[in-house]
């Protein structure tokens, strides 16, 4: 019976980011119509973590918009992590952008076990999707994550106009980092964003197969865009090599109802992992 890891995400600071990532509705540059707020209350975050646990998620990710882990963000994420740790037995993940070693050590002391920082795409294609920071900075943060002993969750977004060679280049870079988990996101269009999606179901299945084949030891996660590219046949991607999904809502878009996903997984004979 194939074991599937479920991960829930909480956008604890949404929008108002000054970076210009062309795939991201949280950048102020594009003016997308999303819910923007500075800090979700600690009480709400703890309740969301409890709900994630009830929905059988083994990981709970605290996400903040913005370029990186500055002093204020660090203090807030540590406070949120400590509060969740006190009440909920769930693996804590943080995703707060560029980070130095000292900040990452503090997160670790607050109970965070895994840090998510995606390379997004190849080093060569990155300037086409972001001009305000570099791919090299992203890679450096990933090295920092590993060097302080946090587990690394690092993947990309597909269907942003990148070519085969970019996907291969991303794979080569990830091989150097050896991530524990690899989220595969499929770009979700928004009328305010300058990018158009260049994916379809066959393309997405091929991405899953390719990554599962290249990274046999890693957790291969279907993240943003799962419902969009696979529709009702998303479990096909689990049969082709993925072994994890995001359960519940995404950062700025609605996900499937957790009950419905769980029902499908159980009905199709998958086992839900209890820890990650």
Cα separation, 99 vs 269, whole angstroms: 40
Q: Which window, 23-31, 82-90, 139-147, 233-241, contacts ligand SF4 (CB under 6 A)? A: 23-31
Cα separation, 60 vs 91, whole angstroms: 6
Give strand pairing partners of 89. Answer: none
Q: Which window, 18-26, 198-206, 213-221, 227-235, contacts ligand SF4 (CB under 6 A)? A: 18-26
Cα separation, 140 vs 98, whole angstroms: 8
Q: C-beta of 27: minimal distance to ligand SF4 in Å? A: 4
Q: Which residue of 10, 11, 27, 58 would you call a contact of ligand SF4, by CB under 6 A?
A: 27
Q: Which window, 22-30, 47-55, 135-143, 148-156, contacts ligand SF4 (CB under 6 A)? A: 22-30
Return the residues of window 65-84 that contact ligand SF4 according to CB under 6 A.
Answer: 65-67
CA distances for 178 relative to 18, 145, 216, angstroms: 30, 12, 11
Task: Count residues binding ligand SF4 (CB under 6 A).
Answer: 10
Q: Which residue of 77, 92, 97, 174 would you call a contact of ligand SF4, by CB under 6 A?
A: 97
Q: Rule CB under 6 A: is residue 121 a binding residue for ligand SF4?
A: no
Q: Are 96 and 73 in contact (CB under 8 A)?
A: yes
Q: How many CB atoms lie within 10 A of CB 164?
A: 9
**Which residue's CB is nearer to ligand SF4, number 19 or number 106?**
19
**Which residue's CB is nearer to ligand SF4, number 17 or number 246?**
17
Q: Which window, 17-25, 43-51, 140-148, 153-161, contacts ligand SF4 (CB under 6 A)? A: 17-25
| Residues composing the chain | 276
Token pair 């370029």 is found at: 67
**Which residue's CB is nearer to ligand SF4, number 108 or number 138?**
138
Cα separation, 234 vs 147, whole angstroms: 35
Token pair 């804590």 is found at: 92
**Which residue's CB is nearer to ligand SF4, number 19 or number 48?**
19
CB neighbours of 258 closer than 8 A, spacing ≥ 6? 55, 247, 248
Contact positions toward ligand SF4, by CB under 6 A? 17, 19, 21, 24, 26-27, 65-67, 97
């Amino acid at each position: 019976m194939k074991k599937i890891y479920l991960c829930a995400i909480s956008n604890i600071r949404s929008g108002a980011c000054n970076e210009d990532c062309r795939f991201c509705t949280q950048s102020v540059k594009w003016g997308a119509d999303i819910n923007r707020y500075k800090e979700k209350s600690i009480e709400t975050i703890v309740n969301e973590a409890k709900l994630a646990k009830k929905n059988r998620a083994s990981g709970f990710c605290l996400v903040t918009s913005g370029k990186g882990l500055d002093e204020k963000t660090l203090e807030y994420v540590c406070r949120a992590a400590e509060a969740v740790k006190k009440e909920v037995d769930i693996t804590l993940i943080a995703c707060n952008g560029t980070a130095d070693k000292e900040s990452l050590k503090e997160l670790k002391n607050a109970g965070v076990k895994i840090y998510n920082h995606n390379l997004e795409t190849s080093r060569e294609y990155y300037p086409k999707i972001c001009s305000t920071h570099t791919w090299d900075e992203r890679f450096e943060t990933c090295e920092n994550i590993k060097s302080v002993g946090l587990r690394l969750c690092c993947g990309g977004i597909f269907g942003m106009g990148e070519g085969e060679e970019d996907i291969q280049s991303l794979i080569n870079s990830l091989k150097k980092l050896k991530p524990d988990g690899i989220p595969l996101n499929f770009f979700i269009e928004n009328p305010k964003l300058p990018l158009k999606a260049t994916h379809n179901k066959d393309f997405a299945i091929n991405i899953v197969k390719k990554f599962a084949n290249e990274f046999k030891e890693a957790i291969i996660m279907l993240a943003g865009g799962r419902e969009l590219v696979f529709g009702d046949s998303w479990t096909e991607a689990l049969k082709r090599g993925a072994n994890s999904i995001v359960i519940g809502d995404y950062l700025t878009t609605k996900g499937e109802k957790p009950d419905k996903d769980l029902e499908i997984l159980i009905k199709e004979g998958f086992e839900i992992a209890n820890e990650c």
